[in-house]
Amino acid sequence: MAEIRIDCLYEACPIPLLKAMKKLKKIAVGDVLIIETDHSCAIKNFTEWTQKNNLPCEIVEVDNGEWEIRLIKR
């Protein structure tokens, strides 16, 4: 199981979600994709999208106004 990071700091929605969707197609099942963002609307976008697509999602605020969104490819 690999951990792949995508730096989406300073990028507005929907760029973080679009980058994640593209990267998820390329990684192996079981790999963890970590998206770094400072755009609060990305939290809502990822929450809705992962629920719709039945993907595990963990969101952690790592600093004031910066989040890591962790997805596990199934």
Domain count, the chain: 1
Whether the model pTM is above 0.75: yes
Tell me the per-residue pLDDT of 4-46, one tens digit each, with 9 for 90 and over: 999 999 999 999 999 999 999 999 999 999 999 999 999 999 9
CB 32 within 8 A of CB 23: no
Decide if pLDDT at 1 tops 90. no
> What was the pLDDT predicted at 54?
93
Got the DSSP string for 23-67?
HHTTSPTT-EEEEEE--THHHHHHHHHHHHTT--EEEEEEETTEE
CATH code, domain with 47: 3.30.110.40
Give the residue numbers spanning the domain of 40: 3-73
DSSP annotation of 9 reads T
